[in-house]
Amino acid sequence: MKHTIRKSATDKSISGVCGGLAEHFGISSFSVRLVFIFLPGNVLIYIILVNIMGDSPPSL
């Protein structure tokens, strides 16, 4: 089964990108957010990920 990276529906501050990455890799979303803060070109990378990553499936 292929696991795709999706935006988080529950762990989101802006659009769920960092929460989705954290859920996929099994790490803290806080640490992913820290990486994005100190990453050069962070805004551009974040905008690209917002548009590329799919939304999480709706929960019942």
**Rg of the chain over CA atoms, in angstroms?**
11
Q: CB atoms < 10 A from the CB of 8, how many?
A: 21
What predicted TM-score, i.e. pTM, was given to this entire model? 0.80
pLDDT at 58 over 80: no
Average pLDDT over residues 10-25: 88
CA–CA distances in Å: residue 42 to residues 11, 18, 28, 50: 19, 12, 18, 12
Parse the chain into domains and list their residue ranges.
1-55
- So what's the pLDDT on residue 59? 65
Sequence-separated (6 or more) residues with CB below 8 Å from residue 56: 6, 7, 8, 9, 16, 20
